[in-house]
A and B are shown apart, each in its own frame.
Chain A
Amino acid sequence: MIALWLIVIMLVGGIAAWLVAPLHRHASAWVAIAALATDFALALGLAVGPARTAAVTRIGAFFVNVAFPWIPRFGISFHLAMDGLSLVMILLTLFLGLVSVLVSWREITERIGFFHFNLLWTMAGVLGVFLAVDLFLFAFFWEVMLVPMYFIIALWGHEHRIVAAIKFFIFTQVSGLIMMVAIVGLVLAHWRATGTLTFDYFALLGTPLSRSAATWLMLGFLAAFLVKLPAVPFHTWLPDAHTEAPTAGSVILAGVLLKTGAYGLLRFVFPLFPDAAFRFAPIAMALGVVGILYGAVQAFGQTDLKRLVAYTSVSHLGFVLLGVFAWNELALQGAVTQMIAHGLSTGALFALAGLLQERIHTREMPRMGGFWAMAPRMGAMGLFFAIASLGLPGLGNFIGEFLVLLGAYQANAWLAAIAAFGLVASAAYALLLVQRVFHGPRRPELALPDLAPRELAVLGAMLVFLVWIGVYPQSLVDTVRPAILGMQHLVVSPPLLGRRG
């Protein structure tokens, strides 16, 4: 039931935030914080409790499972389940949700209630994506998270927000449609094979498919996930959307929405189509490597601060793609760690970019410089998150990247070696960012107040988490391990058709 509550609290909280908006300027924000904090506490309770001891069974390592019939005629049920992977993703989502509310404190001045409504409903959609184990329900939530995000970009974004929002929407919508077709195809294949019409994930595992059918269906799923991830060459929606979105939108896009793509790869592509996925793995890993290097080079060339950070996402998520398709424990743990660390580091960089824009009304780096002298706290934070994002050992991103490389090397040594060059390229862009924004001669003409305590607290919390993951990643690894072992188990020996767990 708790899985359902997580989503319901978000939905109800969203409506409540909308309704209370007229009461006080920050009323909706407080309601949103209350809802997110409640959810976060619930999820944290699961993390210290059942997540650690989840048993790895034939169908995975789920410790929360709730199902209601929804459209029984087509075998669609409202089926939610949670394992360690879902849990850490949900924790990240809710944490970044809190961050988004806090960094929008002053930035959002119009339609505040509707903003928080959209924020929380996006959260609800994302939680649903991380929890759904009915493919129809998954596709449903996949769309649910899209629409409010579209509004967030289109209503509260910057100069070219409409174009960016539409681009984001079309990319995601079209790829989601392809996934929907693939879902229906899979369900029909299962129906033909067994006579049961069902969208249930556990039932569909191990559906016998011909080689070509499996490949095509997998490509259908892949379309949605690679666009969302995003993998080069499907990434071009991302710089636009990230740049034009308001701060909260950027944080959530980078921190959370991109992760749904990686989550989908882990949860669906490999378990449902193991053979096809393994056949495709070299191509996908190569795409990952291309993403790592291309994203880093592109980031280096940007002058818009948010655009730079957006391209670093492409680079970082390339590691995730590489790790997922290497599909061994090291690489998978690395990919998950990288997702969390990227969510924190990139989210923080977007937050900083937003705070800067709020103060100096520009994102153009040539018009910045010397901010350390004026705002040393902000400079220190910017420096920290920049070096986190270049993968300094002792911080979260390094653990993720190194594990991915270690695992990927076992799958494909050459690609792993090429991917390692991402370390240099990331250093180039991260240090360029620090140089252009914080170092250099002082700009006396700009007034730049340093971070307020609220902002410092938000960024400080992200800093602490990143250091925590870097210094003691075992806590994260242990939470995710049963889920990863479970998924690997599925892929090695999928449960026989018709026998449900």
Chain B
Amino acid sequence: MRDALVLVPALPLAGFLILFLSMGALKRGAVAWIGVGSVGLALVAAVVAATGFWRHGAAPYTQTLYTWLSVAAFVPRVRFYLDGLSLVAMGVVTGVGFLIHLYSAEFMIDDEGYSRFFAYMNLFVAAMLILVLADNLLLLLLGWEGVGLASYLLIGFWYGESLNGLAARKAFIMTRLGDVAFVIGLLVLFNRLGTLNIQDLVRNAQAVWVPGSFWPTLAGALLLGGALGKSAQLPLQTWLPDAMAGPTPVSALIHAATMVTAGVYLVARLHGLYALAPAIERLIAVIGAVTLLLSAFAALVQSDIKRVLAYSTMSQIGYMFLANGVGAWSAAIFHFMIHAFFKALLFLAAGAVIQALHDEHDIGRMGGLRRQMPFTFWSFLIGGAALSAFPFITAGFYSKDLILWDAFASPLGGPAFWAAGLLGAFLTGLYTFRLIIRVFLGPAKSKIGRRPGWLMAVPIGVLALLSVVGGLLNIPSLFGGGAQFTHFLAQVLPAQALRPGVRAIEPDLETAAIGASLGGIFLAFLLFLHAPQWVEKVKSTVAGAALARWWGAGWGFDRLYEGVVARAYAGWARANRDDFVDAGVDGVVEGNRLLHQLLRWTQTGHVRWYAMAIALGAMGWFWLAVLS
């Protein structure tokens, strides 16, 4: 049964090939069946493989397809590796992926690129599955770049707009910048450890490298570069808000649920390596904490519904990085899964809103949709509550709570990280409910067009359900739960040691966390519903307006990158279009021309002049040959 594993990435790949090769010749119905069906079948295959995995006592399982390459000692294979970690990731990708495909079948129905859309989506799912199932880093890189490509294609899906193309290229190039570090990291790892197989690599690393020494730190830092690019963390984060140019299901699947969390997955996958590089772990935690705060502030002032969600995605991934950084691998993965549920839910519901309002993205022009779209409202509310970690009833509470706890309690953590997370939780509640209030409450501002049909409603409903019950998987012991998810992953991701004495203050920390998220939500109601004039007042001050502008532009990173780096690059390339090296060649030509000018006066055209030259020459030779 575990052999079904190969089908999991193979089926979406086949779907992609069929759709790609048909080149739009298929009818919409057939496209939908192939596009959605292939991912659905992949989900079935994943369930079958997972069942087999359970039957065999959850022992890691490898499935070798063939030897990709065998040159000297470099023998990467096309081989899949299934353990608890990849099982979770595979489940999320196929499960959430299937739901979003189903949603897209209706959402995209009027688009002329229907077939192309599903081709790209299937390509993405296939590549993402290769990424999570890869047993060596080269195959992982294949999936890694594959999802990058699919992301590029889908951001630029509506290619008629040049801005979409710009956003797509920005996303690809910025993530590729991280990938360069990743590739160099592969070179270092292969050269030092002689393999790129993840399990062997980690084993060898632990055998030959001293914790904290140079090589694991370097390798960890380089691989981290790739993770930062892919997961839109500081300093390579600016592409994600622009990536919202793609269709909304794309934002849900790629830029919220799965691809952007690949960096989290990578770090967790290589936790054995990072354990040898505590400096890098600390760096990861710091980056996570800073990103989660910066993007939470940025989310506060966005006016585009999708950009709010994009910044919140960055912020939530910041939490996951924070968890990874403090060694709470399973907490990161748990949040990864739960985040996939509620963020996909939020995007899908947002998509329904956008479609209903005829492609309106500006939350300033929305409002009062609660009555007109009750289903969407309630779903969005559930998702928002999960995002803001509304206590006890939402899954987001349990996952974020775990991270906060670990950020404090882990030996690598500390009060500063915890405080950052807590502030983030407060801000999350604030910006989430600002969004909900602006979109769904207050007076209605426009008439709505079409309401989601059942193909869109079912995925939203299922995800809403998952956003609530997902938390049941991992209820901490403090609340009388069994923390089953953590235990399940403990085989792969070692359980967290605690700093001595922290157990005693756990209830206090929990209270603080609950207070932070509820406080954020409460403040949101206060500021945005009951007393909006206060916000206006702050905004009207010079400092307030500047701050809003600064945050709205994502802390100005874009200006730095685009205005300085990208402009310098493009400017140099344009200025040197004619290639200054060629000027050297032209210089040779000019030199010859100069020589020509010097010599042409000897060519008088007079025969007697030439005769004299001959005579002089003869004399010269005479002189040289005989007389000297």
Contact = CB atoms under 8 A, between A and B. Distances in A.
Nearest to A435: B165
A333 B70 CA distance: 10
Interface in B1-60: 20, 23-24
A431 B74 contact: no
B573 A236 contact: no
B176 A392 contact: no
Given A330-B74, A372-B159, A393-B142, A406 B570 contact: no
Given A298-B576, A302-B577, A424 B177 contact: yes
A197 interface: no
A477 B70 contact: yes
Contacts of A442: 160
Contact of B187 (A329, A416, A435, A471): A416
A478 to B, nearest CB: 9
Contact of A329 (B20, B71, B186): B71
A421 B138 contact: no
A340 interface: no
B581 interface: yes
Contacts of B183: 402, 405, 420, 423
A382 B301 CA distance: 40
B159 A440 contact: yes
A424 B160 CA distance: 25
Nearest to B586: A236
Contact of A424 (B161, B180, B190, B582): B180
B34 to A, nearest CB: 17
Contacts of A27: none
Contacts of B72: 328-330
A432 B584 contact: no
Interface string B154-166: 0010011110011
Contact of B581 (A236, A376, A406, A410): A236
Contact of A474 (B67, B156, B165): B67
Contacts of B180: 420-421, 423-424
A399 B69 contact: yes
B236 to A, nearest CB: 11
A459 to B, nearest CB: 13
A433 B570 CA distance: 14
A449 interface: no
B176 to A, nearest CB: 5
A420 B152 contact: no
Interface string A390-428: 001110001100110110011001001100110110011
Contacts of B569: 297, 300, 428
Given A406-B190, A409-B191, A393 B146 contact: yes
B261 to A, nearest CB: 20
B452 to A, nearest CB: 29
Nearest to B153: A383
A22 interface: no
B572 interface: yes
Contacts of B169: 428, 431-432, 435
B69 A392 contact: no
A387 interface: yes
Contact of B23 (A235, A328, A330, A376): A376
Interface in B536-584: 569-570, 572-577, 579, 581-582, 584
Contacts of B188: 409, 413
Contacts of A136: none
Contacts of A473: 68-69
Contact of A477 (B71, B184, B576): B71
B177 A439 contact: no
B173 interface: yes
Contact of A405 (B68, B168, B187): B187
Nearest to B78: A471
A380 interface: yes
B50 to A, nearest CB: 26
A420 to B, nearest CB: 5
A301 B574 contact: yes
Contact of B145 (A239, A373, A393, A431): A393
B579 A298 contact: yes
B389 interface: no
Given A428-B173, A438-B159, A439-B156, A474 B70 contact: yes
A233 B23 contact: no
Contacts of A420: 180, 183-184, 187
Interface in A435-470: 435, 438-442
Contacts of B74: 330, 403, 406
A230 to B, nearest CB: 11
A409 B184 CA distance: 9
B162 A439 contact: yes
B179 A423 contact: yes
A303 B577 contact: yes
Contacts of A302: 577
A370 interface: yes
A236 B582 contact: yes
A330 B159 CA distance: 40
Contacts of B168: 431
A317 interface: no
Given A300-B570, A424-B176, A239 B24 contact: no
Contacts of B162: 435, 439-441
A288 to B, nearest CB: 16
Nearest to B142: A393
Interface string A463-492: 000000001111001000100000000000
A26 interface: no
A402 B138 contact: yes
Contacts of A440: 159-160, 162, 165
A52 interface: no
B149 interface: yes
Contact of A423 (B142, B176, B581): B176
A347 B159 CA distance: 26
A333 B75 CA distance: 13
A435 B155 CA distance: 13
A417 B218 CA distance: 13
Contacts of B67: 474
B161 to A, nearest CB: 8
A441 B160 CA distance: 4
Interface string A228-257: 000011011001000000000000000000
A192 B20 CA distance: 65
B152 A394 contact: no
Interface in B120-153: 138, 141-142, 144-146, 149, 152-153
Taking each of B168, B184, B574, which has the highest tally of chain A beta carbons within 10 Å of its own beta carbon?
Answer: B184
B29 to A, nearest CB: 20
Nearest to A484: B71
Interface string B240-251: 000000000000
Contacts of B582: 236
A330 B71 contact: yes
Taking each of B152, B187, B575, B584, which has the highest tally of chain A beta carbons within 10 Å of its own beta carbon?
Answer: B187
B71 A333 contact: yes
Contacts of B166: 435
B149 to A, nearest CB: 6
Contacts of B576: 297-298, 301
Given A420-B183, A439-B162, A442-B160, 19 more contacts: A232-B581, A239-B579, A297-B572, A297-B573, A298-B579, A383-B153, A392-B145, A393-B146, A394-B142, A406-B190, A409-B190, A409-B191, A413-B187, A431-B172, A432-B169, A438-B159, A440-B160, A441-B160, A477-B70
5 contacts: A235-B581, A372-B159, A393-B141, A406-B187, A417-B187
Interface of A: 167, 232-233, 235-236, 239, 297-298, 300-303, 328-330, 333, 370, 372-373, 376-377, 380, 383, 387, 392-394, 398-399, 402-403, 405-406, 409-410, 413, 416-417, 420-421, 423-424, 427-428, 431-432, 435, 438-442, 471-474, 477, 481
Considering the complex of A and B, which 7 residue pairs feature the smallest CB-CB distances, nearest first? A301-B573, A439-B159, A393-B142, A236-B582, A409-B187, A300-B573, A329-B72
